[in-house]
Every structure is written in structure tokens, then in C-alpha cells.
Amino acid sequence: MHIIKFIAFFTIGFFSLAANAALDIEITGGGAQQTPIAVVPFGNAKSIKEDMAKIISDDLYRSGLFRPLNSSGMPNLPTNAAQINYSEWAALQAQAIVVGSISPLPDGRLNVSFQLADVFKQQPLVDMDFQLQAKHARMTAHKIADVIYEKLTGHPGAFASRIAYVKKLGERHFLYVADSDGYNPQSLVNSNEPVISPAWSPDGSKMAYVSFEKKKPIVFIHTLTTGQRKIVANYKGNNSAPAWSPDGKKLAIVLTYGANSQIYTINASGSNLQSITKSRAIDTEPAFSPDGKWIYFTSDRGGKPQIYKTSANGGGEVSRVTYEGAYNVSPRFSPDGTKLVYIRNDGGRFRVAMQDLTNGQVQLLSEGSQDESPSFSPNGRVILYATKKGTRGSLASVSFDGKVRQSLSEARGDVRESAWGPMLK
């Protein structure tokens, strides 16, 4: 009886993966530090199509910090903390247990109740209820996983967030937004011309990007929920590399009025264009520091491309940030502003490097040869980037300490231009 249940569980899991996930995920690393945790199937789980316990369990597994245990052979499957027979779960060597149940509300929504308990102390650590429409069950499971992650690691989770990436399939270019685990991919743009440089607004409601649909690069802002698209910058020459100011009011962009790419700021409405850099070199790939005071950018003013910084108000001094290596580009900040990730050409291999801005130390994090577009997760614990497997692009991520690696690959198409968005409210 248990065997039949077991297979059915995994078969359903496989079906839903094939139907909804664009990205297949494989993780390596983590190892000795993993906390064994049992995520018990939720009570009344069959009333919705999403398997919330499995989503939570998969999130925790992918972090590399947890080892979800298989509870299918257990004599009792509790659905609330009062039902937990702690000695049974201690025998399974679980250190923590997650239980929950789903019940309908009179207004047609659902109530999801969950508890996280410490198996050895035999006491609940968290007791929460969520009210939601059934279609938000996946995201609710990610939020629950975030609560568990934070309670057990001391750091906020980032499962309830989204990523953006570009996929080229045949001659078409798609800009996708998907959940952080690759599920629910939604095409924001589907174009016969390239789309590059997606940039999330700080509140996650809008995406700025560069589209070549008018046969030249133009900066658009796309409102996610309405589909409304607005041209922010369409000046003579190139318009590219949008980066939001932390307050979401301005964008740093790159224009080629004269010859070379130079950095400007512009209001999100498209007004008030202001010049930030004035050089005879290439200045591009701006990024605001999280305190809004600085713009870091790539420049080849010293001969080879390196990262520099200048005042976000323009007109100030420009100082160099990277010194190691002959080619450092694409700076992106950690949410707390203490770390910078960028791409280094390391003897012909383009790899993700992370610089600690408090002490200047640099660590090479990725192991590819054509890695691009690094961005931090909203909790600052993971860096998402684009890499190449053979001739096809795919996505990968690495924890900030280099210990846990994930590979996220699509069955078809060439994936690139990744950007991790903010937490969902």
C-alpha cells in the first residue's frame, strides 16, 4: 500500500514538473552542514493541485542547507503540531519537522495553517496561517519555506521571489519572468528582434529592458500586471543598460549621442535626462549603490575595461574600484551594499567574481568559461548568472560562499540575461 502511494506521489510530481517548470534544476555542494528536516504532506492536500509540502521540501533542498527526509513510510503523518509523535521523527533522525493543513474559507479562498517544530526539544518554533486564493498555493509554499529557512539559519529566505531571463528559441527572443524555482514562466516579451538587460524595479512591479524591435536598442519600461509598455529612452544611436535607482524614481541608462557609450540618468517617466559621465572611452553597465549615492560602471578609460564609481548626481570625481585582473565588467551590488559581483576575464575564462567592498577581497565564484549577467538574490545569499553549456546558454547559481551550486537548464533554446527580482509582497 505504501509503495503504491509512493510511486503515485512521484509520478504526480513529475507530471507537474513537465507541465509548469521551464528550468530543470540540479544542485551540487552543501554536504556536511545539511539539516535533516521532515516536511510532512499537508492535511487535505488533495483539495488543491499543488503539492505544497513538496514545494517547501524542494526549496529547502535546493538551498543546499537542508536534507529533506522521506516521510512516506512513517506510521503516522501529523497535520498539526499537537499530533506530532516526536519520538517517531527522532528515530527518522529528523531535527525539524514541518506540518500543515489546508482548509476552505467561506469566501472561497483557502486557509493554510503550518507549524515548524524542533524534534529534539519537542516544541513548536513557528505557527502561522495564510489566507489565499488556490492559484497562489505555490507562492504561499515558497513563503512558508522562507519562514522555515529564516528560523533555522538566521537569514531571510528568498524563495518567494522571481527571476527574469531571456531565451532565444529559433529566431524568436523571449523575455521570461518565472518563480525563483523556475516554475510559472510567463513571457513578458516575444519578439523577432533581440531583448537584453532586463532590470527589475525595486518594488518588483515593473521591468526595464532593451528591445531591438525598432532595429536599434531602445529602453522600455513594462508594467508586469497590465502589460503596458512605455519607451523611456529612444535617442539617436544606442539606448541601453537600464538600472533602477533604489527609490524606483530614476534609471541610469547608456546613450551614444556622440560616439562612445556614456552614462545618463533619466526619470522613470522619460523626463529630466542628465549626463553622469563625460569621457572619450566606453562607459556602460551602470549600477546604483543601494544607498543611492554612487553609480558603479564599466569603463575602458584606462585601456582595458574595469569597474569605476562616480557620484549618482554626476559631475563628480571618478575613481577605480577593480584592480586585480585585466578585464572586469557588469557590476551588481548585494542588497546590503557590502559586496559587489562582476564578470572577470580570468585568462580567457569569463567568470563571476565577488568583491567584499569593506575589505577589498575578491573571490572567483563561478566555474564556467563564458559566464555573464550576475545578480544577487534578494537575501544576498545566492548569485544567479548566465553560463554556457556547449553552444547553448543556460542559467546557474552559486551561494555567496561558493559552497552550493545550482544548474538551471532549459530543454530547448538558448538562455541568457538573468536578473533576480525583489521579494514578492
Partner 1 sequence: MKHATKIHSKLLMAAAITMILVACKSTPMKDNAAVEDKSAGTSTSGASDVTSDASDVKGAVIDGSSGDGSINELNDPNNILSKRNIYFDFNSDTIRDEFRPNIEAHAKYLQAHSNAKVTLQGNADERGTREYNLSLGQRRSVAVKTALNLLGVADSQIETVSYGEENANPACGDDGCYQADRRVEIVYPNE
Shortest spacing between CB 42 and partner 1, in angstroms: 15
Distance CA 178, CA 184 (A): 5
Cα–Cα distances in Å, from 348 out to 12, 114, 313, 322, 329?
45, 50, 36, 18, 14
Position 2 contacts partner 1 (CB under 8 A): no
- On whether the CB atoms of residues 112 and 140 are closer than 8 A, the answer is yes
Q: Toward partner 1, which CB reaches closer, 74 or 271?
A: 74
387 touches partner 1 (CB under 8 A): no
CB of 8 to partner 1, least distance (A): 9
SS3 404: strand
Does residue 337 bind partner 1 (CB under 8 A)? no
Touching partner 1, residues 147-176 (CB under 8 A) = 147, 150-154, 162, 175
DSSP secondary structure string for all residues of 234-257: --SS-EEEEEE-TTSSEEEEEE-S
Residue 334 C-beta: closest distance to partner 1, Å: 19
At 131, give phi and psi (nearest 5°): -110, 130
According to CB under 8 A, which residues from 346 to 375 bind partner 1? Answer: 350, 370, 372-373
Span from 38-46, 184-192, 269-277, 288-296 in contact with partner 1 (CB under 8 A): 184-192
Residue with smaller CB distance to partner 1, 198 or 335: 198
What is the Cα–Cα distance from 315 to 145, expressed in whole angstroms?
Answer: 46
Total chain residues near partner 1 (CB under 8 A) = 105
- 107 CB-near residues (< 8 Å, 6+ apart): none
Query: Taking CB under 8 A as the rule, does residue 193 contact partner 1?
Result: yes
Name the CA dihedral angle for 26, 31, 34, 36, rounded to a multiple of 10 degrees: 80
- By the 8 A CB rule, do 65 and 30 touch? yes
Q: Which of residues 98-137 bind partner 1 (CB under 8 A)?
A: 118-121, 124-132, 135-136
User: Which position among 81, 89, 100, 143 is part of the footprint of partner 1 (CB under 8 A)?
Assistant: 143
DSSP state of 65: S
Smaller CB distance to partner 1: residue 216 or 249?
Answer: 216
Judged by CB under 8 A, the chain residues 274 through 303 that form the site for partner 1 are 282, 284-285, 298
Q: Does 191 bind partner 1 (CB under 8 A)?
A: yes
Draw the binding track, 230-269, toward partner 1 (x: CB under 8 A; -: no contact): ------xxx-xx------------x-x--xxx--------
CB of 58 to partner 1, least distance (A): 10
Residues 24-53 binding partner 1 (CB under 8 A) are: 31-32, 34-36
Check binding of 80 to partner 1 (CB under 8 A).
Answer: no
- Which candidate, 57, 83, 62, places its Cα nearest to that of 72? 57
Min. distance of Cβ 123 from partner 1 in angstroms?
A: 8
For partner 1, the closer of residues 219 and 291 by Cβ is 219
By 3-state DSSP, what share of the chain in percent is helix, strand and coil, each rounded to 5?
15, 45, 40
Helix 137-153 / helix 52-62 crossing angle, nearest 10 deg: 40
Asked if residue 95 binds partner 1 (CB under 8 A), the reply is yes
CB atoms within 10 A of CB 75: 6
31 half-sphere exposure, CB direction, 13 A CA radius: 6
Which residue from 3, 4, 359, 425 is in contact with partner 1, where contact means CB under 8 A?
Answer: 425
